[in-house]
């Protein structure tokens, strides 16, 4: 297993706690194993069924609640059927548990007793829950505007919650300062997290009868759903388990869409933007750390980045509610993007399309109540 910087290539021993390169670049891990297709049938229906591909060395360090293998449900959308991966069906109510179970297993493997991180809410709730399972003390830095349900979760799991006034980036700044004293268990800096989120791709492949779909559309802030799709499907491709990557499309809120701007204007680096408030709080990320990987993932798969207006979200929340699926506003963003992609002909009506439903509606009950009233 290689643990190396994606900017300068410097390698590090995977047994030593480290969250970024000395050059300031983000790290990545490359597991050198994959499961055999035949072995899967006999394994429990949890994401740990893909054990060989998950970069935790010792089974005794695995911190789990038997999470994963979420339903893949066909729903009518825009005149065609799409497959919704109900990834809000996790212990903490969002797909972030996929990453947190692996990240906190690594923190345990590294023997850490205390960690801290910053998040807009869901990653924090997930890390707080799995830290509690691991017996690791956890400090969380989140924007003061974070949904009350997410704050309640973080506190209930026993983490110390610090509410930071100002935009999302202010929480990161305070956390990075505190990280001089304690390990920074950031879900976007530590690469282990995305080696958990990649299991959504493995599950989709199994659920489709060992096939990849034609396209996936994921919401993207720091890119853990997006990069998870890319890592998962590329590992399947490398193993010869699929013939081609699905097209990977990444959806951002137009009010905070640095990746879309970089993509559309063909910029060499992610631009500095001034984010505006968006109801898609889960992807309100102005300066994504893994922008290079996100761009490569989308480019290599033949997908694209798409911006979505806030106004398109409430009608979608209502439409999905009417089908029995209650999602938080952020999770509606890829559906709005899919509608645009179909208009532009980038996704065909006959394509098999998978969209992850990333967060439970109850996470943002206060915001939903207001939106539904409009």
**Cβ 287 to Zn ion shortest distance, Å:** 18
Q: Which does 94 bind (CB under 5 to 8 A by kind): Zn ion, ligand PLP, none?
A: ligand PLP
Q: Which is nearer to ligand PLP, 53 or 327 (CB)?
A: 327
Write the CB contacts of 111 (distance below 8 Å, at least 6 apart in sequence): none
Q: Which is nearer to ligand PLP, 56 or 220 (CB)?
A: 220
DSSP letter (8 states) at residue 120: S
Q: Which does 122 bind (CB under 5 to 8 A by kind): ligand PLP, Zn ion, none?
A: ligand PLP
The answer to whether residues 206 and 70 touch, using CB atoms and an 8 Å cutoff, is no
**Cβ 191 to Zn ion shortest distance, Å:** 13
**Two structure tokens written together for 182:** 């304690």
Q: Which does 8 bind (CB under 5 to 8 A by kind): ligand PLP, Zn ion, none?
A: Zn ion
The answer to whether residues 339 and 346 touch, using CB atoms and an 8 Å cutoff, is no
Q: How far apart are CA 195 and CA 228, in angstroms?
A: 7
Q: Which does 283 bind (CB under 5 to 8 A by kind): Zn ion, ligand PLP, none?
A: ligand PLP
Angle at Cα 135 formed by Cα 359 and Cα 65, nearest 5°? 45
Q: How far apart are CA 62 and CA 356, in angstroms?
A: 25
Q: How far apart are CA 117 and CA 15, in angstroms?
A: 20
Write the CB contacts of 182 (distance below 8 Å, at least 6 apart in sequence): 114, 115, 116, 139
**Cβ 15 to Zn ion shortest distance, Å:** 19
Q: For binding to ligand PLP (CB under 6 A), which residues are involved?
A: 94, 96, 122-123, 219-226, 282-283, 285, 328, 330-331, 358-359
Q: Which is nearer to ligand PLP, 195 or 222 (CB)?
A: 222
Q: Which is nearer to Zn ion, 70 or 293 (CB)?
A: 293
Q: How far apart are CA 34 and CA 60, in angstroms?
A: 20
Q: For binding to Zn ion (CB under 5 A), which residues are involved?
A: 5, 7-8, 10, 21, 23, 25
Q: Which is nearer to ligand PLP, 68 or 359 (CB)?
A: 359
The answer to whether residues 196 and 224 touch, using CB atoms and an 8 Å cutoff, is no
**Cβ 38 to ligand PLP shortest distance, Å:** 32
**Cβ 96 to ligand PLP shortest distance, Å:** 6
Q: Which is nearer to ligand PLP, 185 or 242 (CB)?
A: 185
Write the CB contacts of 14 (distance below 8 Å, at least 6 apart in sequence): 1, 2, 3, 29, 55
Q: Which does 10 bind (CB under 5 to 8 A by kind): ligand PLP, Zn ion, none?
A: Zn ion
Q: Which does 224 bind (CB under 5 to 8 A by kind): ligand PLP, Zn ion, none?
A: ligand PLP
**Cβ 190 to ligand PLP shortest distance, Å:** 12
What is the per-residue burial (b if ≥16 Cβ within 10 Å, else e) of 296-323?
A: ebbeebebbbbbbebebbbebbeebeee
Q: Which is nearer to ligand PLP, 161 or 225 (CB)?
A: 225
CA distances from 317 to 90, 164, 203, 235, 312 (A): 20, 28, 25, 33, 9
Q: Which does 108 bind (CB under 5 to 8 A by kind): Zn ion, ligand PLP, none?
A: none
**Cβ 28 to Zn ion shortest distance, Å:** 11
């Amino acid at each position: 297993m290689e643990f190396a910087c994606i900017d300068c290539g410097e390698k590090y021993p995977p047994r030593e706690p480290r969250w970024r390169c000395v050059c300031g670049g983000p790290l990545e891990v490359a597991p050198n194993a994959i499961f055999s297709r035949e072995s899967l049938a006999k394994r429990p229906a949890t994401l740990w069924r893909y054990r060989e591909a998950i970069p935790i060395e010792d089974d005794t360090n695995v911190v789990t609640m038997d999470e994963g293998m979420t339903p893949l449900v066909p729903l009518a959308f825009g005149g065609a059927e799409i497959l919704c991966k109900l990834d809000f069906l996790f212990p903490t109510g969002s797909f972030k548990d996929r990453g947190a179970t692996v990240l906190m297993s690594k923190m345990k493997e590294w023997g850490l007793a205390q960690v801290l991180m910053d998040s807009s809410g869901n990653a924090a709730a997930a890390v707080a829950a799995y830290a509690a399972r691991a017996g690791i003390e956890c400090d969380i830095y989140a924007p003061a505007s974070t949904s009350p349900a997410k704050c309640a979760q973080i506190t209930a799991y026993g983490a110390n919650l610090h509410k930071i006034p100002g935009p999302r980036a202010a929480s990161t700044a305070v956390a990075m300062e505190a990280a001089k004293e304690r390990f920074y268990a950031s879900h976007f800096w530590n690469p282990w997290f995305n080696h958990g989120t990649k299991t959504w791709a493995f599950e989709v492949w199994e659920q489709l009868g060992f096939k990849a779909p034609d396209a996936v559309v994921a919401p993207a802030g720091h890119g853990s759903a997006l990069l998870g799709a890319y890592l998962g499907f590329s590992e399947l491709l490398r193993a010869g388990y699929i013939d081609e990557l699905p097209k990977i499309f990444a959806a951002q809120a137009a009010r905070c869409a640095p990746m879309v701007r970089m993509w559309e204007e063909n910029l060499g680096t992610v631009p500095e933007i001034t984010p505006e408030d968006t109801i898609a709080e889960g992807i309100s990320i102005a300066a994504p750390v893994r922008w290079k990987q996100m761009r490569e993932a989308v480019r290599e798969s033949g997908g694209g980045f798409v911006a979505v207006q806030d106004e398109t979200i409430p009608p979608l929340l209502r439409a999905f509610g009417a089908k029995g699926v209650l999602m938080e506003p952020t999770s509606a963003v890829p559906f709005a993007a899919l509608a645009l992609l179909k208009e532009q002909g980038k996704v065909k009506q006959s394509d098999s399309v998978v969209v992850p439903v990333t967060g439970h509606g109850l996470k943002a009950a206060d915001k939903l109540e207001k939106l539904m009233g409009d």
